[in-house]
Amino acid sequence: MTKATIFNIQKYCVHDGPGIRTTVFFKGCPLRCAWCHNPESQHFQRELLYNPGQCTLCGQCQRQCEHGAITINQGSLKQDHSKCQACGKCLDYCLTDAREIAGQTYSLSEIIKEIEKDRPFYEESGGGVTLSGGEPLCQIDFVTELVKSCQDMGISVAVDTCGHVPFSYFENILAEVDLFLYDLKLMDPELHRQYTGVDNKLILENLQKLSARGGNIWLRLPLIEGVNMNREHINQVISFTRDLNISLVNLLPYHDIHRAKYSRLARPYAHHLMTTPSEEKIEEIKSLLETHQFKVKIGG
Ligand code: SF4
Ligand code: SF4
């Protein structure tokens, strides 16, 4: 039976599609966006986050770790992520929750059990389930089974995707998915590669094909000052998407509240390259899109 690696199941979400939703976050992504809000979503394997701000240096974790990944010396704890096997043993002995593991394995029935708990909310609000990540379509076998099960149960499904997967993955689930939340980050291929690690050819092709095949699409545009907050980029988005089947554009202004997660994973974060756009500039972009007949919402 297929299993999936999930790093979060969030209840009562109102920004990941219509109504009240349960969002299932799949671990692993083919992109490495410089602004990623969920850096713990990027790698496919389980990993440890260590928060020194909550650590009392009691030393319990060090005594339990069989892999020599923790050293306490002269009043500070060094977490060696390269030695950590993400076994999770140290978590059981940390009384202050300074440690957490991102990534748990779920069977289909376990996920469905979680989803079913919130069925009354979906029915009352016109909501459902959103599969997000990471990139959920990278675990396509599990996702295919899950969306079919949701359809059988009469639960609406949205898929939040970066689009960088073979189009056959979309074809697998097109009949069962009610909404695609499709991210479009940068139109310039070189800049796209620079900021996400891959060029955007496949992403743009898939968006066109998905539209041609009748997928219901909400286009998600992250707005990041220093990266893509300029009229040239937005004009390119408009000319590429004006004839596509886009029912809503979500403008998603960058913020850096996720910054601490990078240090908990011991990962570099180029925060100096990116800032939050001003409300005036976001409104300007909203108006520009609206003059081209797009329906636009600030936020998810
Ligand atoms: S998760 Fe396991 S390997 Fe990693 S630090 Fe904790 S006990 Fe050591
Ligand atoms: S068990 Fe928790 S509080 Fe104690 S040293 Fe380890 S991380 Fe810090």
Task: pLDDT tens for the chain, 300 residues: list them.
Answer: 689 999 999 999 999 999 999 999 999 999 999 999 999 999 999 999 999 999 999 999 999 999 999 999 999 999 999 999 999 999 999 999 999 999 999 999 999 999 999 999 999 999 999 999 999 999 999 999 999 999 999 999 999 999 999 999 999 999 999 999 999 999 999 999 999 999 999 999 999 999 999 999 999 999 999 999 999 999 999 999 999 999 999 999 999 889 999 999 999 998 888 999 999 999 999 999 999 999 999 998
Q: In a mutational test of the pocket of ligand 2, which residue from 49, 56, 89, 92 has the highest number of ligand atoms less than 8 Å from its CB?
A: 56
CA distance 249 to 272: 28
Ligand with smallest separation from the Cα of 70 = 1
Ligand with smallest separation from the Cα of 76: 2
pLDDT at 89 (0 to 100): 97
Q: Where are the domains of the chain?
A: 3-44+103-298, 47-102
Protein residue closest via CA to atom 4 of ligand 1: 84
Homologous superfamily of 3-44+103-298: Aldolase class I (3.20.20.70)
Q: Domain 47-102 falls in which CATH fold?
A: Alpha-Beta Plaits (3.30.70)
Tell me the H-state helices in the chain. Answer: 60-64, 108-117, 119-125, 140-153, 167-173, 189-196, 201-212, 231-241, 259-264, 279-291
What angle, rounded to 10 degrees, do the helices at 231-241 and 279-291 form?
30
The pLDDT value given to residue 58 = 97
94, 97, 101, 264, best to mutate for ligand 2 pocket (most atoms within 8 Å of CB): 94
